[in-house]
Chain A
Amino acid sequence: MGAVRWLIVLVGVALAGLGAVAIFGQATSGTQPWDPELSDNFIFVKSIPFVLGLGVAVGLARGRGAGAQRRRADGRVERFRIGTVVGHWIMTIGFLLALPTGMWQYLGGILDVRAPIDLFLFYRVHYVGGAVVLFGVASFLAYWSINADRSLLPPRGQWRAHLAGATAELPPRLSGPLARLFRLDLAARRPTPDRFTYYETGFSFPVWTIALALITVTGLIKAMRYVYPIPGGILYWASTFHVASMVLIVLKVLDHLRYTLPRWPMMVAIAKGWVNEGSIRSLLAAEPTAAPAADADVARAPAMSGSDR
């Protein structure tokens, strides 16, 4: 199975490499009539199938993941497999490239100002960031499609309980009104969280999914506009929702940092994969959404020591 995985990756890399050579060969042939901005757009849109294909190959090559959880003698457990850690870094780099440049394009248009740097360079970096995000999304979807682990989602029939748990994490002056608005029972006893906190399953992962789906679909429509005749109305709404999803991602990144910064073991886990089991368990016990500490289930819960890996 290991050889098949590597073969898939090699085929994906080879195809992506051939595609890159052909695309850049055309772009630098000196026969293309376009300005740098349009030329970059064509490079980007022609690269998309290869980027997506490479992402799918890498995602499939990761296999079914999980397996027995690995532990070390020093008390550390493997919360995330290396593929998940690398995938998280890839998405981080993609956002770091695509968000500021996208924000500048939007605000530059609103403010009617020009930066001392040519605009096409902003687009170029934005396209690179977009390609990195597309690779990350394709890789994750391919991995997700062959992996049976759905611990990042609330189990069937428990969405309201997980939403209530996520809401309970907020300060009381916010959680109370939100609970009334969405008719969530914060006082009800919730099942012991399994692997991930209620914030992660009931709120964070679903919002990431919506935001990434929205920005991916609208970005693809926008990218295709010079190579395929997109109706004006569709292009208008794609542009509008692309900006809306960008703002949503800006907010979600801040929310993500707000939640994880004070929970340092989570930062360690996603940066290294390995984390001290005791510290991550004590983190779960500190969650206001968890069952009372006396509940033996909490101590046994694999919530923070296990993962989708």
Chain B
Amino acid sequence: MKRIVAVLAIVWAAANVVVAYLFVTNAFVAKTAAKEGLPAQAALLLGGLLIAVFAVIVAREGLALFRGTSRVS
């Protein structure tokens, strides 16, 4: 069961990395600046970076769970 949960967590983290990529890249395109403005660009950038960081952490925890090397238990 641990391995199934670990794989699901890694898949979820991967999907979030894609979302983070779209957030960050679209923070810098002219279309976003024209349509949404600077605050939205900043929000996309910040949100994307935070999602990326947390997704990487979840992927690492998922991998550790899969391998049976989790830190806490």
Contact = CB atoms under 8 A, between A and B. Distances in A.
Real binding pair = yes
Interface of A: 100, 103, 107, 110-112, 244, 247, 250-251, 253-255, 257-258, 261-265, 267, 279, 282-283, 286
A257 B57 CA distance: 9
Contacts of A254: 13, 16, 51, 54-55, 57-58
B57 A263 contact: no
A262 B70 contact: yes
B50 A251 contact: yes
Pick the most buried of B6, B36, B57: most chain A CB atoms within 10 A of its CB.
B57
A112 B70 contact: no
Contacts of B35: 110
A255 B26 contact: no
Interface in B33-73: 35-36, 43-44, 47, 50-51, 54-55, 57-58, 61-62, 64-65, 70-73
Contacts of A103: 19
Contact of A283 (B26, B43, B50, B72): B72
A264 B9 CA distance: 13
B7 to A, nearest CB: 12
Contacts of B71: 262
B12 A264 contact: no
A136 to B, nearest CB: 19
Contacts of A258: 54, 57-58, 61
Contacts, number: 74
Nearest to A111: B26
A247 B61 contact: no
Contact of B62 (A110, A261, A265): A261
B49 to A, nearest CB: 11
B62 A250 contact: no
A261 B9 contact: yes
Given A110-B32, A251-B54, A286-B72, A262 B19 contact: no
Contacts of A286: 72-73
Contact of B73 (A251, A257, A265): A265
Contact of B12 (A112, A247, A257, A279): A257
Nearest to A266: B73
A152 B9 CA distance: 25
Contacts of A283: 72-73
Contacts of A263: 72-73
B70 A264 contact: yes
A261 B55 CA distance: 13
A184 B64 CA distance: 31
Contacts of B5: 261, 267
Given A111-B22, A283-B72, A286-B72, A261 B31 contact: no
